[in-house]
Structure 1
């Protein structure tokens, strides 16, 4: 028998760990190459179910475990993971839109979704229009035979209007139009994306729910990941097929980090919700501020729709609209003076953040307040648990 070298001995070592091991953490399975028992198994057609093994890119036991847990969080049956929230949005649009189709997006849609529609989708011959998420009759009038997908967002980006989800979903269902909800704000906790108001409209919900796992599920501000969930197996198979075309994959250590964060997601959501409420109410009393945009506040756009769908969860985000006369320089000075807030994008991590916005370039249908009421400048904030203790610092230093 030919003696094998030490490298060969290591690669083909016969030891296999015995069965019976179990622990709280999910084992991390890293792989590009997946081994088959024999050539018959290699040649066997692989089911398009999104949970079989052929190569490491589609998934490993670790990623499929996370997908199953996110599906449970979202009250769904199926889930696919993507490298970011933006890639999850792209997956949905490319799975269900083709040249000649139209997609409708809320005017307060996440900026990267707007960018996708204006850029790549337009180059592919897919048209788009923006709608007012609070005006259902106008939205219904926009639906046509070419409308194949409607994006919903609850709450809307930056201005945080809570849409009339019930009315919008009913209009889409009556016309047979596919609906996709960006549920990053709700995270599967604020409301059930697939049954948004069971007491009012049983069985009414979105066809697809996506969220950026970068936010609440991770909670660490240290990774990028997205998820797309559905209850419909046919929709799931379309998503899996496009997922393979795009070559989406997620890092196993990032998957491990999300799995580690999931058990505390409900506790973190409630704590950040409480912090944001306290800060939003304090900010609303500031003389420099025209209004605070936060779904749980009675004068926030869409408050009545928020009460119909998610009356307990206000979320960790709010925006403050400054009164006329406060220009970019003064708003920036306000943000720079904050001591317990970082300046940066994203939210739901361990640090509170603040970002100034000029919304004049990111809205097509105007702003949800009048020029007399407030300037176009606002500051969007996310409140962490720690920020609840910083109100005195705000009062002392956060002046314009």
Structure 2
């Protein structure tokens, strides 16, 4: 009779955990495998002691990466033309990771006045509670930003274009000013929120940027079902600083979400082009409407910084804003939005479904000069003529409200 307690014979419970089956090697398929792990196993103590969590040639703990997240990071870095990438649970988490990696009490950060509003709130929080000065600048300042750079300025945020009011900044001019004001002991780093272009329509590193932030929630995913962010750089020293912040903050992402983003990458450029074509069709139609005083689409002349977009960008995606004529009150434009059927009401962009959201820009921006109501459109992948018909019927309701 076999001894149940011998090394060769495991109890039923132990056998449930220590099963000896190993699947055969050589399986091939298009999708990248999903590796779930908190604990990473080492073959021996020497291997455990020899590995460095910052060295992506090996694995140490799930928070620092698995083959799934390493693969996504490498593919995102390649899309942007960068070398190093770190993932975060959201775009805002990625922004915070950059701030906390590079700034300390007594430092100064410059933020464009049209920035993604949670980034603005983060800047205020840094000023109020962390002893870091956050100052806001005109997004169209260009080379004039040189006059704002102080001895303690460590970081300049940019956003191209602003995700609500759509100004297109002169990124090369800002980067030149930052380089000219840098010293060997104090580098003025330029970071960009490049989510609008998805790394497709604007190659930020080629225009002098040091750090690229992406909200992968948008075009990279494309399914309106994932929250994730990424920080990409070519600079090894910046990578090390951001990596330390990533570890200290515990900013891990789940393997399933990483897989969903990776699944969207092969079709991203095709979808981006379709969003772009649809948005231009709808934007040009809106431009001819008497209810609209301005169409803030970077590819159209009404948009501040349009000439910069023509010089530096190769596409435009699906996001733009319009300003209604001042005779239409907020209540009237709210009714217009409520009357849309294909356009849904919700934040974000880059998914298949079209969206429309109102903004009270005067409460978000300094020196906002437009009097009309601003509405932001995300043009999804529906037929643009169907979207135009939906807007047209909602405009009819707007006139009835008047």
> What range is the shorter-chain TM-score in?
over 0.9
Where does the alignment leave 5 or more consecutive residues of structure 1 unmatched? Answer: 197-204
Give the deviation of 1:4 after TM superposition: 1.5
Query: Which residue pairs with 2:79 in the alignment?
Result: 73
Query: Which residue pairs with 2:304 in the alignment?
Result: 301
Give the deviation of 1:52 after TM superposition: 3.3
Query: Mapping of 1:348-359 within 5 angstroms?
Result: 348-359=350-361
Query: Which residue pairs with 1:23 in the alignment?
Result: 29
Query: Which residue pairs with 1:218 in the alignment?
Result: 221
Where does the alignment leave 5 or more consecutive residues of structure 2 unmatched? Answer: 183-187
CA pair 210-191 structure 1, distance change in 2 beyond 3 A: same
Give the deviation of 1:95 after TM superposition: 0.3
- Does the CA-based 8 Å contact 1:295-1:314 persist in structure 2? yes
Is the deviation greater in 4-13 or in 251-260? 4-13
Question: Is 1:334 the equivalent of 2:336?
Answer: yes
Query: Which residue pairs with 1:265 in the alignment?
Result: 268
Query: Which residue pairs with 1:385 in the alignment?
Result: 381
Give the deviation of 1:70 after TM superposition: 0.5
Query: Matched residues in 1 for 2:258 and 2:395: separation?
Result: 38
Question: Is 1:96 the equivalent of 2:98?
Answer: no
Query: Which residue pairs with 1:57 in the alignment?
Result: 63
SS class of match (2:389): helix
1:126 to 128, 132, 136: 132
TM-score scaled to structure 1, two decimals?
Answer: 0.93
Query: Matched residues in 2 for 1:50 and 1:247: separation?
Result: 17
Query: Which residue pairs with 1:284 in the alignment?
Result: 287
Query: Matched residues in 1 for 2:10 and 2:37: separation?
Result: 25
Query: Matched residues in 2 for 1:84 and 1:393: separation?
Result: 32
Q: How many residues align?
A: 385
Question: Is 1:346 the equivalent of 2:357?
Answer: no
Query: Which residue pairs with 2:185 in the alignment?
Result: none
- Does the CA-based 8 Å contact 2:160-2:193 persist in structure 1? yes
Larger radius of gyration: 2
Query: Which residue pairs with 1:256 in the alignment?
Result: 259
Give the deviation of 1:118 after TM superposition: 0.6
Give the deviation of 1:393 after TM superposition: 2.6
Misfit runs of 4+, over 6 Å: none
Give the deviation of 1:299 after TM superposition: 2.2
TM-score scaled to structure 2, two decimals?
Answer: 0.93
SS class of match (2:21): coil
Query: 1:284-303 CA deviation, whole Å, 9 max, x = no partner?
Result: 11111110000000221000
Query: Matched residues in 2 for 1:7 and 1:250: separation?
Result: 32
Query: Which residue pairs with 1:201 in the alignment?
Result: none
Could you say what the CA RMSD is over the residues aligned between the two structures, in angstroms? 1.4
SS class of match (2:63): coil
Give the deviation of 1:136 after TM superposition: 2.5
1:12 to 3, 18, 38: 18
Give the deviation of 1:48 after TM superposition: 2.1
Query: 1:272-328 CA deviation, whole Å, 9 max, x = no partner?
Result: 001110111111111111100000002210001101100x30221111101112221
Query: Mapping of 1:31-46 within 5 angstroms?
Result: 31-46=37-52
Query: Which residue pairs with 2:112 in the alignment?
Result: 106
- Does the CA-based 8 Å contact 2:51-2:60 persist in structure 1? no
Question: Is 1:318 the equivalent of 2:329?
Answer: no
2:246 to 219, 243, 246: 243
Give the deviation of 1:72 after TM superposition: 0.6
- Does the CA-based 8 Å contact 1:172-1:178 persist in structure 2? yes
Query: Which residue pairs with 2:153 in the alignment?
Result: 147
Query: Which residue pairs with 2:190 in the alignment?
Result: 179
CA pair 33-343 structure 1, distance change in 2 beyond 3 A: same
Query: Matched residues in 1 for 2:284 and 2:377: separation?
Result: 13
CA pair 315-36 structure 1, distance change in 2 beyond 3 A: same
Query: Matched residues in 2 for 1:167 and 1:234: separation?
Result: 24
- Does the CA-based 8 Å contact 1:347-1:353 persist in structure 2? yes
Give the deviation of 1:251 after TM superposition: 1.0
